[in-house]
Structure 1
């Protein structure tokens, strides 16, 4: 490979099964989520047959927001507020959540859903996971659910996650993974590529966005490879837990110092 070809490859990334310029991906991802924002949570229920609720409950069980002390939680790519609301319900009155998302359409949906229920305990911030507009060592926990695979520079986002966590803070990522059960893997592939885009077309009026989301799952690193990326960003005690036959995984890491 020539130096020019190598440079071109280094400046490219995956957008589903398509290779695109690194600087192009974020805009295309924004278009996807702008299109599906209003039906995003409904589509999660339909696509997963409600399983996403159990996966998110497991994430919150691992997060364990405390009842009796202050707890600052940053939820990235969480625009509609689903993880944030669960954290606030599980934690005590001093639990506070910042929801950060690059897509303002998603944030508007979350703010509308929140209403005045959690006044003073939740805020919605527009920002990029690769360059968080937040101070160092400000949060006790960082979560990202079904969002990390849409970030163009995942390594940069992981470094930013560590930067904004306090020493002793925890990183938790819920993301689709690799199905590891024979037969289930074939059923899952058939459902993903043939059924989900049709549901997207009918419910959200957008088959292409859901085709991208399915393809992006297949291009995401294996659990072991992603664990290596988390460690490379400076986290310690990195683990992952497979759920539902490997359909999803929860990745965990700690900022030791």
Structure 2
């Protein structure tokens, strides 16, 4: 179970000093909803209107084996990455968390363990949100089996690009390994900003870009030669895990994502590389 004691042993990244002269920057997009632009689905090029359904079908097929495959593919390290994410968030009293793309409950359960260890669960709550009903069903079943108090967790099927929540509804937002599956990343960030109250924190844990050439070569060999094979052997789903490794390569690098988060209004934006940049945690505040 997560606790403050455990989290203290993890290095705390230094956040940049606030720029008191900064002004809110808004991005300009040429009416993306009015045209059917092309986007990527792994290394394939598809219409934006098609990507959502393709991603939905993919995760619908792997929902029951999703957590098992995470363990196998990352050799269990994804658990450590999520532990670090929760420690960096550091929930306090009255934390109202929206965990986006969190269908199977991994991040939400860490949140619950954290607030229980600090005896602040009566004032906290997590809303698990996912576009895929099958993933949410897995999470609900896991939560019931673990004996979690239903009052601490609610479950909501929704699109990260068009959330059904009012403005300023939460004071914390996490999205772990879900951002790269969204069609319009800027809309995900914009919606996160909208539903966060002033002072609220946005955190994204996502696969990122390895900078070391030698390590990147080894990582690429493992990703493209081993992961799809394991996916096929364990779940019968080669395509899903081929998409996984391809989607990682299509996702913006650390600096580009940082700039995108800043452009949608977040301040004090920073990132922390984990495992030599295999993943990164981006953090920003609505100020």
Instruction: Name which of 58, 61, 70 aligns with 1:32.
Output: 58
Alignment partner for residue 259 of structure 2, among 224, 228, 239?
228
Higher relative contact order (Cα pairs below 8 Å, separated by 6+ residues): 2
Separation in structure 2 between the aligned mates of residue 70 and residue 204 of structure 1, nearest angstrom: 40
Corresponding residue to 1:144 among 161, 175, 182: 175
Shift, 1:10, TM fit: 6.9
- What is the 5 A alignment of 1:173-252? 173-252=204-283
Displacement of 1:100: 0.3
Alpha-carbon shift at residue 71 of structure 1 (Å): 1.2
Q: 2:45 aligns with which of 5, 9, 19?
A: 19
Q: Is the 8 A contact 2:36 2:47 kept in 1?
A: no
Give distance in 2, aligned partners of 1:81 and 1:211.
Answer: 24
1:47 equivalent in alignment to 2:87: no
Q: Is residue 2:94 matched to residue 1:63?
A: no
2 CA distance for matches of 1:29 and 1:223?
Answer: 23
TM normalised by structure 2 equals 0.84
Q: For residues 141 and 181 of structure 1, do their structure 2 counterparts lie closer, same or farther at Cα, with a shift above 3 Å needed?
A: same
Structure 1 residue aligned with 2:25: none
Instruction: Give the TM-score taking structure 1 as reference length.
Output: 0.94
Three-state SS of the structure 2 residue aligned to 1:183 is helix
**Please, which runs of 5 or more residues in structure 1 have no aligned partner?**
1-7
Return the alpha-carbon distance in structure 1 between the equivalents of residues 36 and 198 of structure 2.
Answer: 33
Name segments (4+ residues, structure 1) moved above 6 Å. none
Deviations 1:120-174 (A, max 9, x none): 1101100000000111101110000000000001111100000000100000000
- Local SS of the residue matching 2:201: strand
Q: Residue 20 of structure 2 aligns with which residue?
A: none
TM-align CA RMSD = 1.4
Is the Cα–Cα contact under 8 Å of residues 176 and 204 in structure 2 kept in the other structure? Answer: yes
Q: How many angstroms apart in 1 are the aligned matches of 2:96 and 2:258?
A: 24
Unmatched runs of 5 consecutive residues or more in structure 2:
1-33
